[in-house]
Chains A and B, each alone.
Chain A
Amino acid sequence: MDFFANLGTGIDAAFSLSALVSCFFGVTLGTFIGVLPGVGPLATVAILLPITFGYEPTDALIMLAGIYYGAQYGGSTASILLNVPGTATSAVTCLDGYPMACQGRAGIALFITTIASFVGSLVGVILVAGFAPLLSAFALQFSAAEYFSLMVLGLVAASLVGRGAPLRSVTMVVVGLILGLVGIDVNTAEFRFTYGIMNLADGIHLVIVATGLFGIAEIIASLVSPPERKPARDITWRSLMPSWAEFKACIMPMARGTGIGSALGALPGTGSTIASFIAYATEVKLSRNPERFGNGAIEGVAAPESANNAAAQTAFIPTLTLGIPGDAVMAVMIGALMIHGIIPGPRLIIEEPSLFWGLIVSFFIGNVMLVILNLPLIGIWVRILSIPYAVLFPSILVFICIGVYSIRNSPFDVMMVMLFGIIGFVLKLLRFEPAPLLLGLVLGPMLEENFRRALLISRGSMMVFLERPISAIFLAGTLALVVWIIVERIRARPVRSIEA
């Protein structure tokens, strides 16, 4: 099959009415939750996951993906207008976006953000379309040993490179792996960690853990310290347009930001938040007069916004082709695929061409929708920010309860969500970051499965992980990463704080 035939398959899949509706719903909701501070894409994707059970897998994934990248667009709106980042990825946008808004250039900042996001996403999508099939062809040669090593690398990278304390993050990954073992062992049908509770036989559902640790815990956290809200000025259509000089100043930062974002997004563990920070830092370093940054430099908005959107797209490359999620949202996406009986991995592109190419084409459609949606709706988003939290949070709470209940009509699951909400609070109190736990939970069963299989094939020799070159490279990379982090920490003696 050549590229255009594939694209044709994708166009067929993505332009069906249900796919278009899913895409529209996803990106709109994504923008919405991106704008609202305190409701992240992770919680939203997890909460909505049960609703998509009845959908076609392609439509379900298109919608969930739309939420993810839509949130990247919306997040910057709150950053610029209110100096409150709607999502972590757009925290950097505050630095220059809010000063621009204070100078009465909010419209220009929002316009450039939308354009920068669009450019970043578009390049990211092209890279996914181009590289994912190549990578998956390479990954088809992987055996169980390579998979095991790659998962170890992915898990360690994701926990060490992400924000937060490295030791605690790795600990959370291992706890996640253990939670992933709960239930019937697939090989021997023995019950593990069930303690006589039959409801645990199928394992702990990803949605339960994700909504508990993130949804419920986020509600509690924002009730303790409510997200700040400042009234925004009115935005007129005319104030939106940047001047030609301003636009020209953004072209190179957008290109650099896109490059940085695309590269980092494709690596496991980095993701869009780090990409946006690095893109910003790069612009400050390259600038002839860096003192402009922080005082409303338009490049300081364009570069990170291109970067986080590009990263949000390229993050799908490892997720879809290797089945290795780069961050917690991607872990939930993998969970979504598996619920629909689709195993993400190198065979996905071959076995589910309409899903893969449909998703790619939907990225294009979704991004175009986002641009059309975002420019005129900026004024409305601003008004939405005035929904009082007292109304918003009980609605989210109910949504979580109903969503989890609907997985298998089990009140036990709803109780588990409460339990994980409390666990989330305890983890926060002890300064554990819960996101790596989710990665561990998703990869736990796969890790064990591949470990077993590799040893079965090698007749019990642990050397198999080192003898196979690709596997050895992954493990060496893991080791190098661990050593690097330890050295860096010993050098930087002052204790890194993880106030989040």
Chain B
Amino acid sequence: MQIQNALAGALILVLAACTIREGLVHEIGMMARIGPGFFPLMLGAILACLGVAVLFVPETRAQTLSDMTAEIVKTARPLFFVSAGVAAFALLIDRSGLVPATFASVVLGSYGNRSARLVPVLLLGIGLAALAALVFRFGLGMHMPLLRGL
């Protein structure tokens, strides 16, 4: 069994189990009037079969564990900073408004790039925050506070 298939199959089976559980929580109903539980149950069962198939059918190029860790290590930096950028936006937008949220997400997100340097990143953050304010608040007239308290 390939490492990728093992992980993929396991993931799919866990998802199938959750789906079947959700199906069982709700009423299954009769065939003439199926309840909200029927479809999740059916899809969960199908997904479980597919999950088993994914486990055993070699579909992808074989990869060793070290190949996979290498791929994760390579992606870790952009994944972390880009996610952090989005999260920062989500946390700041209601608390402090569009401008700080945009600035924070640009600055954090930019560090996903290995060659990011502080000064250009800060300038880009200021520029994009201003642009976002212009385009979305004034241009498209969306209702979001630019800066909380103003």
Contacts and interface: CB of A to CB of B under 8 A. Distances in A.
Contact of B109 (A394, A417, A460): A394
Interface residues of A, number: 67
B86 A409 contact: no
Given A394-B128, A456-B33, A459-B32, A175 B75 contact: no
Contact of A430 (B7, B19, B85, B125): B7
A26 B91 CA distance: 32
A168 B59 contact: yes
A415 B47 contact: no
A107 B28 CA distance: 64
Identify which of A170, A171, A426, A431 gathers the most chain B CB atoms within 10 Å of its CB.
A171
B22 to A, nearest CB: 6
A394 B113 CA distance: 10
A394 B15 CA distance: 33
Nearest to B11: A430
For the residues of A in contact with B, the DSSP-based class is helix
Nearest to B94: A411
B40 interface: yes
A493 to B, nearest CB: 10
Contacts of A167: 50, 53-54, 57, 59
A400 B31 CA distance: 43
B105 A390 contact: no
B42 to A, nearest CB: 9
Interface stretch (A187-195, A306-314, A473-481): A187-195
Interface in B5-47: 7-8, 11-12, 15, 19, 22, 26-27, 30-36, 39-40, 43-44, 46-47
A495 interface: yes
A174 B43 contact: yes
Nearest to A389: B113
A192 B86 contact: no
A460 B8 contact: no
Interface string B83-108: 10111011101100010011001100
Contact of A220 (B33, B54, B82, B142): B82
Given A421-B83, A431-B8, A495-B60, A414 B72 contact: no
Interface in A46-67: 51, 54
A42 B7 CA distance: 28
A175 B15 contact: yes
A409 B132 contact: no
B106 A397 contact: yes
A192 B40 contact: yes
A171 B12 contact: yes
B56 to A, nearest CB: 10
Contacts of B74: 224
Given A390-B116, A401-B101, A431 B91 contact: no
A166 B44 CA distance: 19
Contact of B22 (A175, A192, A460, A497): A192
A186 to B, nearest CB: 9
A371 B125 CA distance: 36
A414 B8 contact: no
Given A411-B91, A455-B34, A171 B47 contact: yes
Given A175-B47, A220-B112, A223-B77, 5 more contacts: A175-B12, A178-B43, A402-B98, A425-B79, A460-B33
20 contacts: A167-B54, A168-B60, A171-B50, A174-B50, A178-B40, A181-B40, A188-B35, A188-B36, A224-B74, A394-B85, A394-B106, A394-B125, A401-B86, A405-B93, A406-B136, A414-B86, A429-B68, A430-B4, A460-B32, A496-B59
User: What 9 A-B pairs are tightest by C-beta distance, nearest first?
Assistant: A460-B31, A460-B32, A414-B90, A223-B78, A401-B89, A165-B59, A430-B8, A497-B61, A418-B86
Interface of A: 51, 54, 165-168, 170-171, 174-175, 177-178, 181, 185, 187-188, 190, 192-193, 216, 219-220, 223-224, 389-391, 393-395, 397-398, 400-402, 405-406, 409, 411-412, 414-415, 417-418, 421-422, 425-426, 429-432, 448, 451-452, 455-456, 458-462, 495-499
